[in-house]
Amino acid sequence: MPAMLTLPVACAALACGPVDQPAGLRAPIASPVPESPAVAAKPTPAKMVAFDGGFDFLKASRRMRVWRPAVELDMTVDTQGHASDCEVVNRFRKNYVNQKLCEIAMAHYTFEPARNAQNEAVEGSYRAHLSYEDLSEEFD
């Protein structure tokens, strides 16, 4: 009966190399070459700085009878750090509910704009998760 090669054995063989090869003869692992600071800079996404509209968001949601545990909003952040567009991720049937919640969020969120590799402010996006339980604990 021929010997069967199983997946764990095959992975071990690939990772370790031949068993009879002395450790000193294996190829050294290349160390990463340090990059210059200009090349090493990576783009950064938009970051939330503040949200001061929790009470207004909760009040409007209660008036419109929003019965969800949380709402997620996708916002576009301009180069000045302000929300320029908003969309409710799991939309409500009534469009005025989506519009009102986005209107409140856009008025009360402040962001640090996204940055490109050259550290210049660029348009970015941010997904906000607003939990009604957390808002209720804060304001009730």
Give per-residue pLDDT as tens, 56-67: 999 999 999 998
pLDDT greater than 80 at residue 75 = yes
Residue 26 lies in a domain: no
Number of structural domains the chain divides into:
1
What does the pLDDT read at residue 27? 46
Give the structural domain span for 74: 44-139
- State the CATH number of the domain containing residue 116: 3.30.2420
Residue 63 lies in a domain: yes
pLDDT greater than 90 at residue 17 = no
Tell me the percentage of the chain whose pLDDT exceeds 90.
64
All residues at 6 or more sequence positions from 45 whose CB lies less than 8 Å from its CB, including other chains: 114, 124, 125, 126
Instruction: Round the average pLDDT of the chain to a whole number and report it.
Output: 80
Residue 13 lies in a domain: no
Residue 56 lies in a domain: yes
What does the pLDDT read at residue 139? 75
Residue 20 lies in a domain: no
Residue 2 lies in a domain: no
Residue 48 lies in a domain: yes
Residue 100 lies in a domain: yes
